[in-house]
Amino acid sequence: MVSFESDYIAGAHPEVLKRLGETNLEQLSGYGTDKYCESAREKIRKACGLPQADVEFLAGGTQANAVVISTMLADHEGVIAAETGHVSAHEAGAIEFTGNEVLLLPQKDGKISPETLEKYMAEFYGDLNHEHMTFPGMVYLSYPTEYGTLYSKAELEAIYGICRSYKLTLFIDGARLGYGLASKEAGLTLPELAALCDVFYIGGTKVGALCGEAVVFTKNNKPKHFITSVKKRGALLAKGRLLGVQFDTLFTDELYFRISDHAIEMAERMKQMFLSHGLKLYLDSPTNQQFPIFENGQLEEVSKQIAFSFWEKYDDSHTVVRAATSWSTTEEDLEALEEALGKKA
């Protein structure tokens, strides 16, 4: 059985694991104060073109979302997100658990449009008595989105413009950031993305690490005593080196970008494979997650050899699945997929 269920089915990129081994017996200070964390911070700052940025490491995506949102919102504020945003539906109420409301906006292909955001803000500060409503204080986007889609540079510029005019913090969830930036449709570099938001994170868990997300505060806006707030949320690892060494490796010799390129190349080939076998795509994703629509019988047959994630029912006889590539996807994986699809064509 070959699995395309997700982009976190394998362990760490071998380079990452190798560095963990090489540094394993060094005596290092805890809680993110070691030299590898420092080095990783410095390399990330450089990669972002933000020499003054603050970089902090957290263990996972939901944790990063909850920590960033709950430390950066004021008491009277909530966070705007697409109805389909990860924080809206797939984090078991992690944002609400920290006392904060998620303000849902309609989406298309997983994205909030600048027009939708502008209209919402204009109405909020228009005729309504908003003192009894949660104030929008932040916009949460994913890059790529839950559907693998990407905001264009123009869209991000428009959204960030709205954010600045209404004093909204723009937060970009980059759990799959590498796969977004590596997409042929990105039209955006890491420094450009970093310049178009207030805070974002560089996902490690899905892009080569065992765990870990690097939160980048781009505007000298890290909350005061952030580490204490991280500790308060049970999110501070004693052996911060685990995150530091991994990110230090990922940002050495552009490993993060190289493995992202690989995943995107594999995804492109997978996408063509689906199309050449006559499958339709639920939507046109330019990143590492693809959403083919299978006839149910065919899916059952293919699923004997290949594992996908169920995404949603398309109609009574068809099903949408998610097929994800990652740094760990191999030629053999694609060949197995080709063979399985071929049987059914």
Report the site for a second copy in 184-243 (rule: CB under 8 A): 205-206, 210-211, 223-225, 227-229, 231-239, 241-242
Give whichever of 156 and 337 is closer to a second copy, judged by the CB atom: 337
Residue 256 in tokens:
């993060």
Task: Answer yes or no whether residue 261 interacts with a second copy by CB under 8 A.
Answer: no
Cβ pair 224, 218 in contact under 8 A: no
Cβ pair 98, 143 in contact under 8 A: no
Task: Answer yes or no whether residue 119 interacts with a second copy by CB under 8 A.
Answer: no
Considering only 40-48, 101-109, 260-268, 295-303, which stretch makes contact with a second copy by CB under 8 A?
A: 101-109
- The least distance separating a second copy from the CB of residue 307, rounded to whole angstroms, comes to 8
Give whichever of 46 and 90 is closer to a second copy, judged by the CB atom: 90
Give whichever of 128 and 154 is closer to a second copy, judged by the CB atom: 128
Bridge partners for 2 per DSSP: 306
**DSSP secondary structure letter of residue 260:** H
Give whichever of 238 and 345 is closer to a second copy, judged by the CB atom: 238
Q: Is the peptide bond before 144 cis (omega within 30 degrees of 0)?
A: yes
- Among the listed residues 65, 142, 288, 298, the single contact to a second copy using CB under 8 A: 65
Considering only 71-79, 157-165, 191-199, 295-303, which stretch makes contact with a second copy by CB under 8 A?
A: 71-79
Place of tokens 């809206």: 88
Checking phi first, is residue 148 left (phi over 0); if not, alpha (psi -120 to 50) or beta? Answer: left
- Backbone CA torsion sign across 206, 208, 211, 214: negative
The DSSP result for 115-172, as a single string, is HHHHHHHHHHTTTS-GGGSPEEEEEEEESS-TTS----HHHHHHHHHHHHHTTPEEEE
Give whichever of 69 and 194 is closer to a second copy, judged by the CB atom: 69
Give whichever of 150 and 242 is closer to a second copy, judged by the CB atom: 242
- Among the listed residues 63, 183, 289, 325, the single contact to a second copy using CB under 8 A: 63
Orientation angle between helical segments 241-250 and 35-48, nearest 10 degrees:
40
Considering only 18-26, 38-46, 252-260, 271-279, which stretch makes contact with a second copy by CB under 8 A?
A: 18-26
- Among the listed residues 51, 52, 131, 345, the single contact to a second copy using CB under 8 A: 131
Give whichever of 151 and 201 is closer to a second copy, judged by the CB atom: 201
Task: Answer yes or no whether residue 106 interacts with a second copy by CB under 8 A.
Answer: no
Which is nearest to 338 in space by CA: 274, 295, 264, 268?
274
Q: Which of residues 282-321 bind a second copy (CB under 8 A)?
A: 310, 312-313
Task: Answer yes or no whether residue 278 interacts with a second copy by CB under 8 A.
Answer: no
Give whichever of 13 and 188 is closer to a second copy, judged by the CB atom: 13
Task: Answer yes or no whether residue 111 interacts with a second copy by CB under 8 A.
Answer: no
Q: Which of residues 153-172 bind a second copy (CB under 8 A)?
A: none
Report in angstroms the alpha-carbon separations of 323 from 92, 111, 116, 181, 203: 23, 20, 30, 19, 19
Residue 149 in tokens:
């889609």
- The least distance separating a second copy from the CB of residue 8, rounded to whole angstroms, comes to 4
Residue 112 in tokens:
């909030």
**How many residues lie near a second copy (CB under 8 A)?**
86
Task: Answer yes or no whether residue 41 interacts with a second copy by CB under 8 A.
Answer: no
Greatest alpha-carbon span in the chain:
63
Tell me the chain's radius of gyration from C-alpha atoms: 21
Give whichever of 229 and 252 is closer to a second copy, judged by the CB atom: 229
| Residue 166 neighbours by CB distance under 10 Å | 18
Give whichever of 108 and 184 is closer to a second copy, judged by the CB atom: 108
- Among the listed residues 52, 132, 331, 332, the single contact to a second copy using CB under 8 A: 132
Q: Which of residues 81-100 bind a second copy (CB under 8 A)?
A: 89-100
